[in-house]
Amino acid sequence: MRRPRVKVPPGHAQAYYHCVSRVVGREFLLGETEKEQFVRYMRLYEKLYGLRVISYAVMSNHFHILVEVPQRPDDSELPDDAGLVAHVRSCLGDEAATELEWELSHYRGQGNDKSAEELREKWFSRMWDISRYMKVLKQRFTQWFNGRHNRRGTLWEDRFRSVLVEGKGAAIKTMAAYIDLNPVRAGICQDSKDYRWCSYGEAVAGGKLAQKALQWLQSFRVDSLGGVERSSNSDVTAVSPVVSNKEALERWRCYLFGVPFSERARNEELQKEGLGGKAHVFRARISRERALEVMKEGGRLKQSDYLRCRVRYFSDGAALGTKSFIEEVFQSAREHFSPNRKDGSRPLKGLELVPKPQRIYNLRQLQKNVVS
C-alpha cells in the first residue's frame, strides 16, 4: 500500500521537495548524452510548469532534484489567452503554441467559453504541481531514451520518492549540499565542480539558472557547522541578490567542504600580505569510511562529514526542517499517523554537534540502515 505523499501545510507560499527516482533494476544506463538530455528536459518543464530547480544531480542510474513549487495563483491572476499562448511558445515552440491559439480562438469565436476554459485548465492543472512535473519529466525522457536505444517498456523503477523540505535556514541548504555531493559520495570525482550534471558543476560552468539558485541559497548564510552567520532576505522573489555570483560560488564551495567562509577570506588576506604562504582552503576531513564507522557506532559528526555519507533521512525521511516546521507538517497530516503518536519532530541521528537552534528535524525516525 502506498504511503501518502507529505505535502506542505496550508499558508506556505512555496513548497520544496527533494525528489529521487532510480532506473529500473538500478542498471547504469545513463551516459553523458543521456544525462545532458535529461537536464534539458528538466529545465524545459521547470520553465513550462512555473517551478524552480534549486539543486540537482543526474547520476548513471538515478537522479536527485530539489524543486521549489509555488502555490497556484488565484484564477484572477492567471494569464489570459494571449499570455498562455506566449508562455507555451517560449517553452515548446511555435507548433504547440499555434495549435493552442487556434483552438482557443475557435472556441471563443463560437461563443463556447466553457470549452475554452476547460482547455486553459488542462494546461494550468499541470503547472505548480510537483507530481505533474515529475510525471511528465520521467515520461518524456523515457520516450526519448527508448527511441534512441530501440527499447520498450518502463525506464524507472517505481514512482518517485520525495521529502518535503523547509524552505529556509539549515534544512534547505543542507539538502542542496547533500545533492551536490552525490558524485563525490559515488567516487566519481573529488570535487562536485568537476561533475557537469549537478547544479554546482553547472553553476561553475556559467549556467545562469544554477548560479541564481546558489545566490538565493546564500540569503540564509548557514555556516558549515550549521550555525547562522547572518540572516537576510529569504524571499525567492527578491530582485537584488544578497551576494555576488562570484561570492556565492566561493561560499558554496566552503559550505560543501566544511570550511567557514570567514576562514577562507582570512587566508586570502594573509596571502595578499605575504604572510600566509600557500593557504590551505579546506581543512583535513575524516574519510567517508571513517564517517560511516563513527555513525554505526552511534557517534557524532560535523555536518560536512555527515553529508559525505549516504544518509537515508534525505530520501526517506518524509520531511526535513526546524522543530516547529515539522510539528506544523505533522499536525496538517495527522490522519496519516497513529493516534498514539503525540508529536512529529524527530532529531536526525548523528548531528547532535549542530547547535540546538539550527538542528534539523525529521518526520520519521529511521530505525536501521540510516547510513549506507
Q: Are 171 and 303 found together in one domain?
A: yes
Q: Specify if 290 maps to a domain.
A: yes
Q: Which amino acid is at 171?
A: A
The Cα-based distances of 225 to 30, 50, 299, 353 in angstroms read: 34, 33, 16, 8
Same domain for 302 and 372, yes or no, is: yes
Count of positions (residues) in the chain: 372
Rounded to the nearest integer, the mean pLDDT of the chain is: 83
**DSSP per position, 22-65:** EBGGG-----HHHHHHHHHHHHHHHHHTT-EEEEEEE-SSEEEE
pLDDT digits (tens, 9 = 90+) for 150-198: 999 999 998 899 999 999 888 999 999 999 999 988 889 888 999 999 9
Residue 123 sits at φ, ψ, to 5 deg, of: -80, -45
Which H helix or E strand runs over 15? Answer: strand 14-22
Both 287 and 338 in one domain: the answer is: yes
My answer on whether 112 and 213 are in the same domain is: no
Same domain, 79 and 66: no
Residues 168 and 98 occupy one common structural domain: no
Clarify whether residues 61 and 101 are in a common domain: no
DSSP label of 309: S
pLDDT of residue 296: 66
Do 189 and 117 belong together in one domain?
A: no
103 in the same domain as 41: no
195 occurs within a structural domain: yes
DSSP letters of 84-136? HHHHHHHHH-HHHHHHHHHHHHHHHHTT-HHHHHHHHHHHHTTTT-HHHHHHH
141 within domain boundaries: no
- Contact between residue 164 and residue 6 where contact means Cβ atoms under 8 Å apart: yes
Helix (H) / strand (E) element for 362: namely strand 361-362
Into how many domains does the chain fold?
2
**At a CB cut-off of 8 Å and minimum separation 6, what does 7 contact?**
15, 164, 332, 333
Residue 203 has pLDDT above 60, yes or no: yes
- Note whether 220 and 338 are same-domain residues: yes
For residues 83 and 301, the model is more confident at: 83
**Residue 208 belongs to a domain:** yes
What does the pLDDT read at residue 224? Answer: 41
Residue 294 lies in a domain: yes
21-30, 119-128, 223-232: least confidently modelled range: 223-232
Domain residue limits at 86: 75-124
Residue 287 has pLDDT above 70, yes or no: no
Q: What is the mean pLDDT of residues 31-41?
A: 98
Q: What is the pLDDT of residues 56-101, one digit of tens each?
A: 999 999 999 999 999 999 999 999 999 999 999 999 999 999 999 9
**Residue 362: C-alpha distances to residues 182, 274, 349 (Å):** 21, 47, 10
Q: Are residues 251 and 194 in the same domain?
A: yes
Q: Is residue 188 part of a domain?
A: yes
Q: 200 and 93, same structural domain? A: no
Positive or negative, the CA dihedral 21, 25, 28, 30 is: negative
Place of cell 537522479: 63
Answer yes or no: is pLDDT of 110 > 90: yes
Is 130 contained in some domain? Answer: no
What CA–CA distance (Å, rounded) separates 157 from 25? 7
The whole-number pLDDT of residue 74 equals: 94
Task: Compute φ and ψ for 320, nearest 5 degrees.
Answer: -130, 140
- Report the predicted TM-score, pTM, of the whole model to 2 decimal places: 0.85
User: Does residue 4 belong to any structural domain of this protein?
Assistant: no
Nearest to 63 by CA among 189, 173, 157: 157
State the residue for C-alpha cell 552567520: 229
